[in-house]
Structure 1
Amino acid sequence: MPIASLTREEAADRAALLTVDRYDLDVDLTGLLEGDTVRSTATIAFRSARPGAGSFVDVVADVERAVLNGAELDPASVQDGRLPLPDLQGDNVLVVTAAQSRTADGQGVLRTVDAADGLVYVWMTFEPDEARRLWACFDQPDLKAVHRFTVLAPESWTVTNNSAPETIEPEGPEARRWTFAPTPPLSTYVTVVNAGPFHQLRRTVDGYDLGLYSRRSLAAVLERDADELFDLTARGLAWFGEQFAYPFPQQRYDQAFVPDMGGAMENWGSVTHTDAFLYRSAPSYRERSDRADVVLHEMAHMWFGDLVTMRWWDDLWLNEAFASWASTWAMVGATEFTDAWATDLLDSKLLGYRQDMSPATHAIRGDVPDVQQAMANFDAITYDKGEAVLKQLAAYVGEDAFVEGLRAYFAAHAWGNTVLDDLMGAFAAASGRDLSAWTGAWLDRAGTDRLELDGGVLRAASPDGEAPRPHRLRIAGYGADLAPAGAVEVEVTGPETTVEVPGTIHQVNSGDLTFASVRADTASLEALRRGAGTLPDPLERTLAVATAWDQLVQGELGSDAVVDAITGLVAAETSPAVVEALLLLGLQAVELWTPLARVPELTGRLAVAAARLADSPAHRQPALRTLAATATEPAQLELLAEAAADDLDLAWRVLARQAELGEHDLDAVEALQARDPDPDAFASALAVRASLDDPEAKEAAWRAIMVDRRVPAGSARRTVAGRFWRPLQRDVLAPYADRYLEALDSFGSAGMLGQLGLVRGMFPYAVVDDAFLARAGAAAEAPDVNATARTALLLGLDTGLRMVRARTA
């Protein structure tokens, strides 16, 4: 069935015409226990501002019956996922019964069968416009309405929804009917129904009824992590409620960890996470930090996105950038992960810089003519640059004024929809600053400014030839021995700003307050890079390495200098999260940014650093994982073998490294899979085989990821993909670069999260060359390529070109 993408103009016209009061949704999941069909009846009460006018309701399912104000509509009239609604009255009631059988590909709904025990689970996720795949609705963010769900499910299943269940009653011998309380006014995309024979844990903390859910085969892992997850959730609700002066207004807050999901979704009161966050082996500090970041990110959406929602998708960044900023802010303020701004720089902000320097960049407040373009904007500009720009705004107006503005914004617009001016007006009123020029400069222009300290002058330049953006930043000074000598606050308002910085070594953008490519003099850059471990705190140390990374990407520095900077810093760094982030960055530098002839040498340097770090209890786990990716010497492999005896995750990594080195032990793989309780252990075994420099092994991995799509989304797929694209296996991998381009058209059938994971996660960076880049460029310009694939191709092209330059330097 052809499906139309709702345009901005159509959405505005429909919002001007219609007011939606209520959805009563009757959902039947019993057909999913052994089949693939979910049925729904949507009863929609809505008003029309112009009686006699016509409109349409969205429905991408098989309509069986439709009745508008008592009159039958022809189900065959559905075209492009739209059911026409003629001759509307002032007050209307529409009843649409529909069935959806495409429940195996993740487009709005996914039915999965756990290979461990054969149990069936169902999850739903609707952003940006996929609620229409399950039931008829006006699927746009500014037509909010109350939703009341009634769900018929197999007797053994538990059902989660945005609200608490009011009644659970038997219906026949093998089913139960769940009736949930009405929701507050919500956009369609943040509603949810999840179901299955979940393992459920509940706890009451500070008056909130908190729930955790997982598939039964992961019950032991959920039990292991429950105390931490409940504590983190309670801390987040308390922090945001106090800081925003608006406590979360619902007692129940659930989080379901579901299989084969490539991310998380901020459904009101019932967040859905990938169960990859239920780490099968004891998680590292960084893995716990990553999970906390996502838990708090989705929680922040309860206020920014769910309570107050953007009117249209051109303000998507208002949702995602804010949630990203708020989660990092809350981690520092309310949890043990107080180095979150440092790890955010290495993880998220570097991604924002990478996309912003590429042809895939766009203004943060982008032009989104239709929903298809909105999906392409779930990217590093919207999330990562957007977060950094909000951090800069907080520095520009002061954090107190920033928080005061947020409080006023939530109080004024609760349960409504807004545009950017509503938010910026709140910040302007709280700070007393006119932010109109700031808004245009930061949110309506793409590209990264360059800030260079030249003696006593800070020079600023914008890549678009216009005036540089306003920046509020700090420049730190150090003595020749890198002893702190003081710092100065600077507000940039033009191309040149006179500054007086103490000391002889200078660090531009100390505290990482702004978003810019920064440089000091050559002596300062080299001193900070070589002596980063002596700087006063993790963020300053991380900034020195991040600047070196920017020099690598810009072609100003070789990967060997970056690897040396990383190995030097990890030897001195005390923050566990920062050490792990640095080691992962070091692996990127070695595998993707180093001339092939020198990969073994730099791999060896990283392996030596990791082996030394393995003696530190605080850093042993990430050090051993890095060593498992780089070891070549007998002593290193012996150290790994001993450490992996009681660590299943490390044991899988060691087997993969051995396979890459040509020592595949099939018996050891089969034995480890047999004793691994992970229901997705087959993916770990596949990752070992994917590491082989062997055509049959590569083909098996490719088919599992790209054709059969049986590798679970999330960390399992990333692991197999990472073991597939090995840098020194170019001959056997070369044909798969073109096969990636051939597969682009098929990615759309994987749902939004699946499509984003495939198109970005499988880009063949390890084997890109000039010839492939030319073919990829042509594919990006093809008239029929969808917006998400085009964005990924343009980003991959630019990054690949920079990698080729670094690898041939």
Structure 2
Amino acid sequence: MSSANLTRQECAARSAAITLSDVHVELDLRHARDPQQAGFRSTTTLRFDATAPQTWIDFIGEDVHRVTVNGQEQPVEYDGARISVSGLTASNTVVVDATGLYSRSGEGLHRFVDPVDGETYLYTQYEPADSRRVMACFEQPDMKAAYTFVVHAPIGWHVLSNQSAASVAQAADAQTVTFAPTLPLSSYITAIAAGPYHRVDAEWTRGDQTVALGVLCRPSLAEFLEADEIVQVTREGLDFFTDAFAFAYPWGKYDQIFVPEYNLGAMENPGLVTFTESYLPRGAATDAQRGGRANTILHEMAHMWFGDLVTMRWWDDLWLKESFADYMGAHASAAATRYTDAWVRFAANRKAWAYQQDQLPTTHPIVADIVDLEAAKLNFDGITYAKGASVLKQLVAFVGEDHFFEGARRYFAAHAFGNTTLEDLLVQLEEVSGRDVRAWSRAWLETSGMSTLSLTPAGEGEWTLEQTDPRPHRLRVGLYDLVDDALARRDILELDITDARTTVEAGAADLMLLNDDDLTYAKVRLDPTSLTAVDKALSTLAPLPRALVWASLWNATRDGELAAVRYLAIVGRHAPAEENIGLLTGVLANAAHAIGHYVAEHDRQAQRAGWLETTWAAMTDAAPASDAQLSWARAFAAAASYVDAGASRARAILDGTAPEGLRVDPDLRWALLTALATSGNASLDDIEAELARDDTASGRTAAVRARASLPEREVRVRAWHRAWDDTGLSNDHLSATIAGVRAGGRRDLVDDLDAEYFPRIMPAWRDRSIELARRLVVGLFPSTEDLEPVDRWLEDENAAPGALRRLVLEQRDHLARDLRVRAAQDQLAV
């Protein structure tokens, strides 16, 4: 095992022997603008008590120059990931003088040069274990400390960290910013950002507490920042969580910064939350996109309490922060902001991620068994986030909302600035609710998989509710009648079920909707009568039941129980009338996926052509300048990558002959041009001309993808090899290159490279960062008709790292599902 891959067992032993008190970090970023300077000086002073004479300190960088222990210099014992220190006494001060490396992978201290202004922008991203790429540290969440950061940087730069600056000294062309010490934090949620960012200031006041707010981005994106909207959501969230948790926001200031080439949606660093620039659309944006951004703002804000104030002891209990934050993001959006449809989007889209993950052979309980850091890195998945949030919604229904929040308040009061496990939360919830929360936990948090619920007639006025993989559910059954071609709810039944079969007394209904109001986590099947009713009148349902029906149809399609062509027909009939843009966006993505993965091979081209026409017609029929028109235009651009017949219409939009009102922003232009390039209807000269028009960071990334998408074998093969071999590619440019290789489903251009894939993945895992290696392993997996090569690799490489095997197993399962569902299509009723 690599020395960089820390295990749970050794970290537990280290924290038992070491009590960390405070850490002082000095970073010299004065030469960050010089591309010849690959690294930066990092000097860390750690103060801690010890009951063992030796330990190790984590650091990944260019070199460690000097180590002193209690004032005595020691020989440097450094293996590239761990610094061994010895001669420890009861109380210790260790100083590590080292050089870290600027990152182009989004891990550690990422350095980015904006082509618009030529300026350099820095930010950190650490979770779960990349703070050691910037400072020497104890890289585990249960070793909290007060951190003091001192940063030397060019004059004129904003320099930010978790706390406000205590002092700023200027000399010549440099500034030294000393930040106030933090309250106790885990290393992975400390943060630094530096550069000539654009900043908007505001504040939030509640009673006698005033919190300074900052919203930042690169100046070249300032016109798209929508700072007023972001500040409004931030204030609403702080109001909501202050009341809900009865614990004042503890971290002083609240900066939110949108950064380039970011690997995540966002990260909850207290006092300095980082977000991907994808949340700043360049020109055109739907209200659903803004709602998604608001949800993420509130998700990260919930972490200020769930995760930052109270932190899991080890990554087994990652759900203690992520499941709660995912739940709170939707809950607070619906309760405190104008985005009251947050649970609608959650039901149809977010839970789809959970359902998919929970059917993989690598699924795991929400409370997972995380043996090492590599496993932790891959556990930021649909189980920990979306299933966990779905299950918490069931918990709220089980104990009652008032009891749930009271339990949370007691949890924060009891464990503020500490570390916890599952048991610490259960104690509080059980005490306030009087319910058997431990039995609930065993059924929901400590098992994997999900139930599938269905209804079958059982006699006059009776139905049998069946559930596979039985669990306790509190749920509702909606009874809907079809009146004047519209579905209306006549009655609703509330049930507690635990068994595989339950008798339900209910009269006949045109639609029997299981899990109405979406209280529980389960796949739901529609009975034949209900399927006929939604086929006819789906778009007449209210938003939440409509979301649940869309989800049910999609799950049945993925499971090979509903013909993909019937699903696409329902989409074609009802998606053009879908008023909720969050639902529409998900349905459009699912339809495209169904064509590419589940439609039988002999029918695929016809379905692609039909889908192109559907998207074009819906776009031209949509209200001018509406969110629906923009959503359909994006779907049309994606569809045109596969069908040559879309070329003339895509070109017309680019040339200015667009449907009335369509907002053709730079990102849509690139989507259309890439579609033309993929189908062979645009040239390299066209791509270079568009880049000249949009020579921005986003434009350059889009150009990388477009160039790699040209349907020429030489181009695709070159891009395939560049992805594996060019270690100078940034994270975003690597993803763009991989997307180009896969564009338009043209596997025939690179299928002879399949044999090279499996020999390459182990070296990539060994030599590249886990983030970049993951993109290669997943993105270039050979989706052939033959499972034998992957099965052979899994058999031959049974000693491969567990995290790598997990990725390959998941890709195998996706491919096996595709093949299985395609094979079933001709036997399914349309």
Calculate the TM-score normalised by the size of structure 1: 0.92
Question: Which position in structure 1 is the counterpart of 2:562?
Answer: 557
| 1:412-427 matches, cutoff 5 A | 412-427=414-429
Deviations 1:297-333 (A, max 9, x none): 2222111111100011110121211111111112222
1:556: Cα distance to partner?
Answer: 1.0
Question: Which position in structure 1 is the counterpart of 2:167?
Answer: 167
Counterpart selection for 1:795 from 810, 813, 822: 810
Q: Is the 8 A contact 1:27 1:41 kept in 2?
A: yes
Q: Is the 8 A contact 1:352 1:385 kept in 2?
A: yes
Q: Which amino acid aligns with 1:698?
A: R
Q: Name the SS for the 1:563 alignment partner.
A: helix
Question: Which position in structure 1 is the counterpart of 2:788?
Answer: 774
> Quick one: distance in 2 between partners of 1:636 and 1:190?
48
Distance change >3 Å, CA 245–CA 502, structure 1 → 2:
farther
> Quick one: distance in 2 between partners of 1:341 and 1:721?
34
> Quick one: distance in 2 between partners of 1:100 and 1:618?
45
1:488: Cα distance to partner?
Answer: 0.7
Counterpart selection for 1:540 from 533, 545, 548: 545
Q: Is the 8 A contact 1:545 1:566 kept in 2?
A: no
Question: Which position in structure 1 is the counterpart of 2:323?
Answer: 321
> Quick one: distance in 2 between partners of 1:284 and 1:719?
24
Question: Which position in structure 2 is the counterpart of 1:227?
Answer: 228
Question: Which position in structure 2 is the counterpart of 1:138?
Answer: 138
Question: Which position in structure 2 is the counterpart of 1:203?
Answer: 202
> Quick one: distance in 2 between partners of 1:65 and 1:318?
38
| 1:24-423 matches, cutoff 5 A | 24-34=24-34, 35-48=37-50, 50=51, 53-61=53-61, 62-75=63-76, 77-79=77-79, 81-101=81-101, 103-171=103-171, 173-206=172-205, 207-222=210-225, 225-263=226-264, 264-423=266-425
Q: Which amino acid aligns with 1:73?
A: Q
Distance change >3 Å, CA 758–CA 342, structure 1 → 2:
farther
Distance change >3 Å, CA 728–CA 87, structure 1 → 2:
closer
Q: Which amino acid aligns with 1:619?
A: A
Calculate the TM-score normalised by the size of structure 2: 0.90
Q: Name the SS for the 2:318 alignment partner.
A: helix
Q: Which amino acid aligns with 2:446?
A: D
Q: Which amino acid aligns with 1:531?
A: A
Question: Which position in structure 2 is the counterpart of 1:785?
Answer: 800
Question: Which position in structure 1 is the counterpart of 2:828?
Answer: none
Distance change >3 Å, CA 477–CA 665, structure 1 → 2:
same
> Quick one: distance in 1 between partners of 2:90 and 2:73?
18
Q: Is the 8 A contact 2:126 2:188 kept in 1?
A: yes
Deviations 1:177-235 (A, max 9, x none): 0000110000011001121222222222333211122223323333xx22222222222
> Quick one: distance in 2 between partners of 1:700 and 1:710?
15
Question: Which position in structure 1 is the counterpart of 2:531?
Answer: 525
Q: Is the 8 A contact 1:447 1:462 kept in 2?
A: no
Distance change >3 Å, CA 778–CA 382, structure 1 → 2:
farther
Distance change >3 Å, CA 402–CA 777, structure 1 → 2:
farther
> Quick one: distance in 2 between partners of 1:634 and 1:366?
48
- Unaligned 5+ segments in structure 1 are none
> Quick one: distance in 2 between partners of 1:117 and 1:675?
15
Q: Name the SS for the 1:469 alignment partner.
A: coil
Question: Which position in structure 2 is the counterpart of 1:691?
Answer: 709
Distance change >3 Å, CA 156–CA 780, structure 1 → 2:
farther
Q: Is the 8 A contact 1:354 1:799 kept in 2?
A: no
> Quick one: distance in 2 between partners of 1:672 and 1:54?
59
Q: Is the 8 A contact 2:20 2:143 kept in 1?
A: yes
1:148: Cα distance to partner?
Answer: 0.7
Q: Which amino acid aligns with 2:168?
A: I
Counterpart selection for 2:493 from 488, 496, 501: 488
Q: Say how many residue pairs are matched.
A: 793
Counterpart selection for 2:608 from 603, 610, 635: 603
Deviations 1:504-541 (A, max 9, x none): 23111112221212224222234234432122x21211
CA-atom RMSD in angstroms: 2.6
- Unaligned 5+ segments in structure 2 are 826-830
> Quick one: distance in 2 between partners of 1:202 and 1:174?
26
Q: Is the 8 A contact 2:237 2:301 kept in 1?
A: yes
Q: Is the 8 A contact 2:47 2:93 kept in 1?
A: yes
1:445 maps to 2:451: no
Question: Which position in structure 2 is the counterpart of 1:500?
Answer: 505
> Quick one: distance in 2 between partners of 1:377 and 1:10?
20
1:513 maps to 2:526: no
Q: Which amino acid aligns with 2:703?
A: A
1:255: Cα distance to partner?
Answer: 1.6
> Quick one: distance in 1 between partners of 2:127 and 2:587?
33
Deviations 1:106-141 (A, max 9, x none): 442222222333322222222112222222211111
Q: Name the SS for the 1:574 alignment partner.
A: coil
| 1:713-752 matches, cutoff 5 A | 713=731, 721-722=738-739, 724-726=741-743, 728-745=745-762, 746-747=764-765, 751-752=769-770
> Quick one: distance in 2 between partners of 1:618 and 1:109?
37
Q: Is the 8 A contact 2:286 2:627 kept in 1?
A: no
Distance change >3 Å, CA 359–CA 600, structure 1 → 2:
same
Q: Is the 8 A contact 2:105 2:730 kept in 1?
A: no
Distance change >3 Å, CA 648–CA 11, structure 1 → 2:
closer
Q: Is the 8 A contact 1:261 1:712 kept in 2?
A: no
Q: Name the SS for the 1:687 alignment partner.
A: helix
Distance change >3 Å, CA 379–CA 134, structure 1 → 2:
same
Q: Is the 8 A contact 1:24 1:42 kept in 2?
A: yes
> Quick one: distance in 1 between partners of 2:735 and 2:572?
25
Distance change >3 Å, CA 649–CA 56, structure 1 → 2:
closer
1:653 maps to 2:662: no
Q: Is the 8 A contact 1:164 1:252 kept in 2?
A: yes
Range moving further from structure 2, 796-805 or 338-347? 338-347
Q: Which amino acid aligns with 1:790?
A: R
Range moving further from structure 2, 173-182 or 701-710? 701-710
Q: Name the SS for the 1:619 alignment partner.
A: helix
Range moving further from structure 2, 78-87 or 244-253? 78-87
> Quick one: distance in 1 between partners of 2:11 and 2:704?
45
Q: Which amino acid aligns with 1:768?
A: S
| 1:747-762 matches, cutoff 5 A | 747=765, 751-760=769-778, 762=779
> Quick one: distance in 2 between partners of 1:274 and 1:150?
26
Q: Is the 8 A contact 2:101 2:133 kept in 1?
A: no
Q: Is the 8 A contact 2:65 2:98 kept in 1?
A: yes
Distance change >3 Å, CA 510–CA 111, structure 1 → 2:
same
Q: Name the SS for the 1:141 alignment partner.
A: coil
Distance change >3 Å, CA 144–CA 304, structure 1 → 2:
same
1:763: Cα distance to partner?
Answer: 4.9
1:477: Cα distance to partner?
Answer: 0.9
| 1:673-688 matches, cutoff 5 A | 673-676=691-694, 678-688=696-706
> Quick one: distance in 2 between partners of 1:780 and 1:539?
42
Distance change >3 Å, CA 87–CA 662, structure 1 → 2:
closer
> Quick one: distance in 1 between partners of 2:634 and 2:595?
15
Distance change >3 Å, CA 768–CA 330, structure 1 → 2:
same
Deviations 1:573-608 (A, max 9, x none): 221222222212211112222223322322333333
Deviations 1:476-497 (A, max 9, x none): 1112443312111111122222
Distance change >3 Å, CA 195–CA 486, structure 1 → 2:
same
